[in-house]
Chain A
């Protein structure tokens, strides 16, 4: 009995170890990633066009900005994380404005009054538009704020950031686009 039983035991054990190993490896792949971060399918594709009214000013049409690098930042006055990236965006606007880079803030699910208040108190200098009805947000696959899209001069989205965008990261992306045509 012992020889056959031992071999059978060994085979069964090997089977158990193999299955557990597969399960563990599979689950490990999920450990490294943040499940709430979902890759946007728009990266590498044409940026959806929009014409949105500014808070105080004429409407802005994305298509008319073809030939320039555009940084589209979705934000809201009620979004606490948006305040974190405010300085970085303003800095990018001031630094790269003369190189033809445009920074546009798109207000998401907000009231005009609250948005204006935010612009005043936080000192936003770049153009800010309101996306009433969230049609543009839906076209850009927005899952929350803040999210930032960087559009190159041919109108294609080359970068997408979920969460507050860092000043250094944004600057490096814009610089690489300005120096080498992308």
Chain B
């Protein structure tokens, strides 16, 4: 099907797609999203638990990579240590605390939530709130501003030359239309 016919076919299909069907699809989509959100995740196997804890630890000899992602031997040994500690019955928090005791807080991929460092978790909300406030203020100001008045006189009379110039300008505008 050439792009032209596809365009026309789409035009026809669009006209015919009843609003009710669209609404039904949207509701079903929303429902599926909610069902995913509330569904129970199966309990993580030990390997998955090791991955989860390792993903929250920063590989000490790499830059930026987590212990889960890093191919370095030390990271490998850290993963083995995590597995051992899990088998010994330690909780995820205890394991993390053990590494923090040796390496300091910078071994955690994300800062602890307490203290000065915890402020980083509020930053995204603050940023978005600030953005929304600025946007609303701006929009309100623009909405209240006086709208440009259309002139009282009718369309101006143009000579043939001017008409051609207008036609050229309009054609250029169309080409440039964003």
A–B interface present (Cβ within 8 A)? yes
Asked, given contacts A41-B102, A41-B103, whether A138 binds B61 with beta carbons under 8 Å apart, the answer is: no
Complex contacts, A137 vs chain B, CB 8 Å:
74, 77
**Using Cβ atoms and an 8 Å threshold, which residues of chain A touch B60?**
141-143
Q: Is the CB of B74 within 8 A of A141?
A: no
B73 A109 Cβ-Cβ under 8 A = yes
| Given known A109-B73, A109-B74, A134-B74, contact A141–B81 (CB-CB < 8 A) | no
- CB of B125, distance to nearest CB on chain A (Å): 21
A66 within 8 A of B: no
Known contacts A41-B101, A109-B74, A143-B60; decide if A135 and B106 are in contact (CB<8 Å).
no
CA distance A82 to B103 in the complex (A): 21
Interface residues of A in 82-115 (CB under 8 A from B): 109
Interface majority SS (helix, strand, loop, mixed), chain A: loop
Residue from B78, B80, B104 in contact with A41 in the complex, judged by beta carbons closer than 8 Å? B104
Inside 8 A of A133's CB, which chain B residues have their CB? 77, 80
Residues on A with C-beta less than 8 A from B103 are 38, 40-41, 141, 143
B77's nearest neighbour on chain A, judged by CB, is: A134
- Judge whether B104 and A38 touch: CB under 8 Å: yes
CB distance from B71 to the nearest CB of A (A): 14
CA distance A139 to B101 in the complex (A): 8
Partner of B81, one of A42, A135, A143: A135
Query: How long is the Cα–Cα vector from A42 to B98 in the complex, in angstroms?
Result: 12
- Tell me the bound Cα distance from A43 to B73 in angstroms: 26
A179 to chain B, nearest CB (A): 31
A15 interface contact, C-beta 8 A:
no
A144 at interface, CB cutoff 8 A: yes
- Chain A contact residues, CB within 8 Å of chain B: 38-42, 48, 109, 133-135, 137-144
Interface residues of B (CB under 8 A from A): 60-61, 73-74, 77-78, 80-81, 99-104, 106-107
- Leading 8 A-B pairs by shortest Cβ distance: A141-B102, A141-B103, A134-B77, A41-B104, A143-B60, A109-B73, A38-B106, A144-B61
